[in-house]
Amino acid sequence: MRHNQRIGVFLCQCGSEIADHVDLAKVEKEMRKLAGVTYVKTALYHCSRKGLQQLKEAIREEKLDRVVVAGCTPRTHEGLFQQACEEAGLNRYLFEMVNLREQCARVHQNQNEKATSKAIALIRMGVAKVSAGQAHDSLRAEMEPTALVIGGGISGMTAAVALANRGVKVKLVEKESRLGGMLRSLHRLYPSGVEADSYAESEADTVRENANIELLLDTHLTKLEGHVGNYQVTVENLKGSETFSSGVIIVATGGQVFVPHKMYRYRLQRGIVTQLEFEDMMKRGEVVARNVVMIQCVGSRVEERPYCARICCPTAIKNAIALKQRFLRTRVTILHRGFPEYVEGLDQAQDLGVSFIEYRLDKLPQVRRNIVKVWDQTIEMEAEIPFDLLILATPLVPRLEVEELSKMLKIPRDENDFLVESHVKLRPKEFVPNGIFIAGCAHWPATVGESITQAYGAAARAYALIEKGYLEREPVVAALSEAFCRGCGSCEEVCEYSAIKLEQSDDGLKVSKLNQFLCTGCGSCVSACPSGALKLAFLSDRQMQAVLEQATGI
Amino acid sequence: MRNPEPEIVVFACSWHPYTAADNAGAERIQYQPNVKIVKVNCTGNLTIGHILNAFAGGADGVLVAGCGIGECHYIRGNESCKEVIEEAKEILQVSGIDKERLSLELFSDVDGSKFASLMDSFVDKVKSLQKVEARIR
């Protein structure tokens, strides 16, 4: 079979890098003797523009059906050569690159004879591999033009409407009975002064009026399978469960407020509340207080939760200003550990008469029946502040359901258990599973404005996938011959990516089914299979055997 | 005539070990040319068959190089490879081939000098075995 092939071998001098230590003239002579090799060319730099041009011309003129380039490590120019081959009409899986520089010439200097025979062996290995190989085309999957948005808070609603306005059919799943999320618990937004509840309602109206959005309230996610372009989603509500497919998924499940159990006499007496509870009091008009003390960083920026939750300080300033504007004679004191740069309104608050005391982590404020004792960092004295309302600023933390969600969607979590992106600086809008995007407090404590921006970002990314209409990926995957499968399930056991599953047909026969789109090409299933039903498409046993025969030079 | 210099096949996964080998090249750290590197995506792909094939084809020594435990790009491929190596050693022993001829090395970094010295020490080890026993084919 090899004799009918037309293999081209391109030897690279790499300037003098390879040529100085390997006798390429001898190598060329040996290559011409190989069965199936019809063309051998030595050049100074095959990767140069001229070199690539000559490569493509040779493929066309000599009608080469396989190409081996022997030069530097494939980690540098393999892609470049593969592309050149494809431009000349040769499938990239019929191209092999042999490492003569990093793994031969450079490490075996001043032993020309031995380096040369090793080079010859290495190229023979490459020729054997590509000779026993086959062409492979890219995998293609259709993209379902539908989206699933999990969570009906401001982030979810924004993303759903953005996608729906582009013509995408969206299913919005919300586990509560109404839309709005945390907005429903807030009083007024800052600095606009907009009422959070009415704002949530008007956003909800926009969702309800959009014909492309199917709203599923009182519904939660129970199972997720499949891959980007075709996720199989199972949801459950009072009516039962339902499975549908979705092309992309946007996670907007939000966060929850940390409850400061056993801290600062919380719940041990009346008048000690969290910021969220205070918002509710303001909404109901229930605030009657002469002395208000706010303690910042309750349960955040400590060992268990080292992060700054970002929105508690702006909220405190907002509420301090609101209090003073309504009850000018009420004293408001904020105990803090520094404010973030972006906090607005500090000047306005000070002008209105709000007091600020900075405290230290190692000298926490102490709460008694109706006074707070605090060590004032600045004047180095202990202050005793009477209060009839104590507001504890606690951080946003991940929801309890996040652990299950993260496992279901295969999104990793960071050290604080928030769902995490691929890379915070290099890929901030991408998440590890390809077609899933996150917006809002599920990702990190975010303000309403930030949540909206993130939602637009997620929708834009999701739409980009949908608009293309299909997905393509390299066939660096396994291949299954079902005829050889004996249904033992070993492959399913070892696959970390759920790409291969054992299925039972109606007549009781168990056979594995491989979803190549989920496959990463690691080959664990191949080594686990006792029947030889699996192989790696790009490195079959036949290829490996051919390579090993040449490796030992016998 | 047998080749007096041992032939060593190195199965290197394309992540840490292959990069370490390239780094040895970048720094021009010299080692003995008896080794031929076969690149695999993950050592988890290797079967006992692959390893025995290498010996049957004429290898005097086989070194499998993977990534450190807990560092496998494909999560646990190196762990299943470890089991495969242990089984392969049993089979070699029964076949009369010294199991010292098979070695598993895990790389937690891409240090070129570590790779080079590993190659040299393995070649030397196999050389020391060379004189002692005859080959079974």
B22 reaches A (C-beta below 8 A): yes
Angle at A320 between CA A317 and CA A326, to 5 degrees: 140
Whether a cis peptide bond, with omega within 30° of 0, leads into A191 is yes
Structural domain of B108: 8-128
Q: Between chains, do B9 and A521 touch, taking CB under 8 Å as contact?
A: no
Q: Is residue B57 part of a domain?
A: yes
B70 reaches A (C-beta below 8 A): no
Residues of chain A scoring pLDDT < 50: 554
Q: Is residue B136 part of a domain?
A: no
Contact residues on chain A for B47, CB-CB shorter than 8 A: 526-527
Residue of A352 and B58 predicted with greater confidence: A352
As a whole-number percent, the residues of chain B with pLDDT over 70 amount to: 91
- Indicate whether this model's pTM tops 0.90: no
B131 reaches A (C-beta below 8 A): no
Q: Is residue B95 part of a domain?
A: yes
Instruction: Count Cβ–Cβ pairs < 8 Å, chain A vs chain B.
Output: 124
Query: What is the pLDDT at residue A434?
Result: 74
Q: Between chains, do B36 and A121 touch, taking CB under 8 Å as contact?
A: yes
The CATH number assigned to the domain holding B101 equals 3.40.50
pLDDT digits (tens, 9 = 90+) for A404-462: 888 888 787 888 889 887 666 666 766 656 788 999 999 999 999 999 999 999 999 99
Residue of B137 and A105 predicted with greater confidence: A105
Interface test with A, best of B9, B19, B34, B41 (most A CBs within 10 A): B41
A135 reaches B (C-beta below 8 A): no
For B44, the closest of A104, A523, A551 (CB atoms) is A523
Residues B53-67: what's their mean pLDDT?
Answer: 93
Q: Chain B closest CA to A540's CA: distance in Å?
A: 11
Q: Which residue of B has its CA nearest to A542?
A: B50
Query: How many angstroms separate the Cα of A446 from the Cα of each of A128, A186, A259, A270?
Result: 57, 14, 18, 30
Query: What is the pLDDT at residue B1?
Result: 35
As a whole-number percent, the residues of chain B with pLDDT over 90 amount to: 77
Contact residues on chain A for B21, CB-CB shorter than 8 A: 102-103
Query: How many angstroms separate the Cα of B36 from the Cα of each of A126, A324, A489, B4, B109?
Result: 12, 78, 35, 16, 21
Give dist(CA A127, CA A358) in Å, integer.
72
Q: Between chains, do B80 and A104 touch, taking CB under 8 Å as contact?
A: no
ipTM here: 0.94
**Strand segments (E) across A240-395:** 240-246, 248-251, 255-257, 272-274, 291-295, 331-336, 355-358, 366-367, 371-376, 381-386, 389-392
Q: Are A207 and A179 in contact (CB under 8 A)?
A: yes
Contact residues on chain B for A526, CB-CB shorter than 8 A: 45, 47
Please list, in sequence order, all residues whose beta carbon lies within 8 angstroms of the beta carbon of residue A313, skipping any fewer than 6 positions away. A296, A336, A339, A340, A343, A393
Query: What is the pLDDT at residue A192?
Result: 87
Number of domains into which chain B is organized: 1
Q: Which residue of A has its CA nearest to B41?
A: A522
Of B102, B125, B7, the C-alpha closest to B48 is: B102
Query: What is the pLDDT at residue A322?
Result: 93
Burial of A351 (0-12, 13-18, 19+ CB in 10 A): exposed
Q: Which two tokens stand for residue A244?
A: 């549908």
Q: Which two tokens stand for residue A288?
A: 């009657």
Transcribe A247-273 into DSSP letters: SEEEE---EEEPP-TTSTTTTTSTTEE
Q: Is residue B135 part of a domain?
A: no
Query: What is the pLDDT at residue B2?
Result: 46
Q: Which two tokens stand for residue A189?
A: 């937004």
> In this structure, is the dihedral angle defined by the CA atoms of residues A358, A360, A363 and A369, taken in order, positive or negative?
positive
Domains belonging to chain A, first-starting first, are 2-138+544-551 (3.40.50), 146-256+397-471 (3.50.50.60), 259-394 (3.50.50.60), 478-537 (3.30.70.3270)
Residues B6-30: what's their mean pLDDT?
Answer: 96
Portion 57-76 of A in contact with B at CB < 8 A: 73-75
pLDDT digits (tens, 9 = 90+) for A469-522: 888 888 889 999 999 999 999 999 999 888 899 999 888 889 999 998 888 899
Q: Chain A closest CA to B41's CA: distance in Å?
A: 6
Residues B19-27: what's their mean pLDDT?
Answer: 96
